[in-house]
A = this chain, B = another copy of it.
Amino acid sequence: MIQSLSEHDREKLQDSLAHSGQKVTPQREIVFAVLLAKRDHPTVEDVFQRARESMPGLSLATVYNCLETFVGCGLVRQVNHERESTRYCPNLAPHAHFRDEATGHVHDIELPPEIIQSLRSILPPGFNSETIEISFHGRSQESAQRSTSN
């Protein structure tokens, strides 16, 4: 069960929504709270399941709508890996993602500004990028342990 938003987070939600002319609703509060509660890059379906525990009448369509709204006002990032379901990430700091092939888990990897700079610098003249997505694919300790301890 999701506990409600902290004063600070509720304010961030209200503020970001207001900035793009939209309102806080009970559904949006819960969906946002779900994202903040467990930062494991949940899919829409994951969010739907978790949010339902607090609001049984919530619909899947609304979860899609809320998440789209959040992405639109910059509260959340979408994370795609290959052709899998889209995942959602409330971490707004510049970061890359590490996808553990063994567990399917997605981890945030901090991105130092100088790396971002050096990446921008490899673009030929005439190419202006607004965003850079970086995703690693591999195994982490987590999964290595599982396979040796089993």
Task: Please tell me the size bucket of the interface on A.
Answer: 35 or more
A119 to B142, CA, bound (A): 21
Question: Could you give 25 example pairs across A and B, Cβ below 8 Å?
Answer: A78-B82, A80-B83, A96-B119, A98-B127, A109-B122, A109-B123, A109-B127, A110-B122, A112-B122, A115-B118, A115-B119, A125-B141, A126-B144, A127-B138, A127-B140, A127-B141, A128-B138, A128-B140, A130-B137, A130-B138, A131-B136, A131-B137, A131-B138, A132-B134, A133-B135
Going nearest first, the 8 A-B pairs with the smallest beta carbon separation are A126-B141, A129-B138, A129-B136, A131-B137, A130-B138, A127-B140, A128-B138, A133-B135
